[in-house]
Amino acid sequence: MFRKHQELLEDYLFHHVISLKTEENYRLCVEKLRRAIHADVDSLEFGQLLEWRRRELSEGLSPTSWNTYMRHLKALFNHGIEQGKLPYKDNYFSQLMVKAPDKLKKRLSGEQIVKIRELFEALKREEEETGNHFAGFHPVWFWRIVIETFFYTGIRRKQLLHIQMNDIDLRCLVLYVRFEGSKNKKERFLPIPDDLAPWLEKLLWENARKKFHPEDQAFNVNCYNPLSRRKEMSQCQVVACFRELSWRLGFQVSTHRFRHTLGCTLANKPTANLFLIKEILGHSSIRSTMEYMEADLAAMRAVLNERQPEIQQGLLKSTGMLDREP
């Protein structure tokens, strides 16, 4: 029993080129389906799936996580139906999504950005004066450049790690973002903002001193740590830096918060150009970009304040005060 689960999954993976992380997610979803419903993939009943949904949500699984499972299983079963491996006329999993609550994007305030930069300035001074090495921040200048790159570009953590030396063109102020690190497997070019250029110039200069090659990983802290045995910088090293940063500052800092901060800042400008913002963030659909649009509280307050004189006029009129002579 359940042999067909594995056969369907392996056939899907054979026909599609996906990352190892995505493959792991598909295997996890199939395993959850196998554990939840004791029936093979070609004999599932819609009622069984509805009961599974009710049980998972009642036990505390978030709608967002449930929908993630359903998207993977929907794609898997679409493949099975198209290939004639499953007997279903309709894909049950396309009917099992639930409405997830809308949440505000988690972003950093202007005050928090200032505190991040002030901390790095203080760490830099102490490192230069005392020679102390700070866990997660050595060398300080390197991690400051990492922070500024996330702040100005909004790229994802994985994208930063795939940037090579020859991907940074300071003469044309262009950054090449490789498809290997992109969520949607699309490569693109990003303009380098003027304020970011000096930081990247510092990085390239330091890397040149270490005799980096054009195809070498541009952001590689291991080359500046004589105790490190790693050849390339990994995601866990970036995570460790942000974990330490969050602990020191007392608020959550992450690469995704920098990305959301950029997206919300750009999308909520009065002159926002959604197409350009979509290209900057690397979204496949402009619908993803529109999620960063939020009602401006100051504008909302102005609308409410405009209403007050009208209400006051109405109150005076109703009491007859407007008709009385002074």
What is the rounded average pLDDT of the residues 251-276?
90
Domain with CATH 1.10.150.130 in the chain: 3-95
Give the single-character DSSP code of 190.
E
Q: Which pLDDT score is estimated for 317?
A: 59
Alpha-carbon distance of 66 to 207, in angstroms, equals: 44
Alpha-carbon distance of 114 to 181, in angstroms, equals: 29
Alpha-carbon distance of 193 to 149, in angstroms, equals: 10
Tokens of 159: 């994208």
What are the helix and strand counts (H, E) for the chain? 13, 3
Strands 188-191 and 174-177: antiparallel
| 155 confidence band (pLDDT: 50, 70, 90) | very high
In the chain, DSSP assigns E strands to 168-169, 174-177, 188-191
Instruction: For tokens 């699309």, name the residue.
Output: 186
Task: Check whether 5 has a pLDDT greater than 80.
Answer: yes
Q: What residues are annotated to the active site?
A: 156, 183, 256, 259, 283, 292
Q: What is the pLDDT of residues 34-91, one digit of tens each?
A: 999 989 999 999 999 999 999 999 999 999 899 999 999 999 999 999 999 999 999 9
CA angle, residues 43, 49, 51, in degrees to nearest 5: 130
For residues 166 and 215, the answer to whether their CB atoms sit within 8 Å is yes
What is the rounded average pLDDT of the residues 3-18?
91
Q: Is the peptide bond before 139 cis (omega within 30 degrees of 0)?
A: yes
Angle between helix axes 274-281 and 255-267 (nearest 10 degrees) is 170
Task: Check whether 299 has a pLDDT greater than 90.
Answer: no
Tokens of 245: 């940063």
Domain with CATH 1.10.443.10 in the chain: 111-290
For residue 64, give Cα distances in angstroms to 11, 56, 290, 325. 27, 12, 18, 64
Task: Check whether 177 has a pLDDT greater than 60.
Answer: yes
Give me the long-range contacts of 172-176 (CB less than 8 A, separation at least 24): 173/197, 175/200
Give me the long-range contacts of 18-26 (CB less than 8 A, separation at least 24): 25/68, 25/72, 26/72, 26/76
| 296 confidence band (pLDDT: 50, 70, 90) | low
**Residue whose C-alpha is closest to residue 19's, from 237, 183, 233, 186:** 183
Indicate the residue type of 165: M
**pLDDT above 70: percentage of residues in the chain:** 91
Alpha-carbon distance of 192 to 5, in angstroms, equals: 47
Say which residues have a Cβ less than 8 Å from residue 256's Cβ, sequence separation at least 6. 106, 156
| 288 confidence band (pLDDT: 50, 70, 90) | confident
Task: Check whether 314 has a pLDDT greater than 70.
Answer: no
What is the rounded average pLDDT of the residues 119-136?
88
What length is written for the chain? 326
What CATH topology corresponds to 111-290?
hpI Integrase; Chain A (1.10.443)
* DSSP of 81-149: HHTT-S--SS-GGGG---PPPP-------HHHHHHHHHHHHHHHHHHHHH----TT-SSHHHHHHHHHH
Q: Which pLDDT score is estimated for 94?
A: 93
Give the single-character DSSP code of 181.
G
Q: pTM value? A: 0.73
286 sits in which H/E element: helix 286-290
Give the single-character DSSP code of 164.
B
Q: Which pLDDT score is estimated for 165?
A: 97
Task: Check whether 321 has a pLDDT greater than 80.
Answer: no
CATH number of 3-95: 1.10.150.130
| 130 confidence band (pLDDT: 50, 70, 90) | confident
Q: What is the pLDDT of residues 211-250, one digit of tens each?
A: 999 999 999 999 998 878 889 999 999 999 999 999 999 9
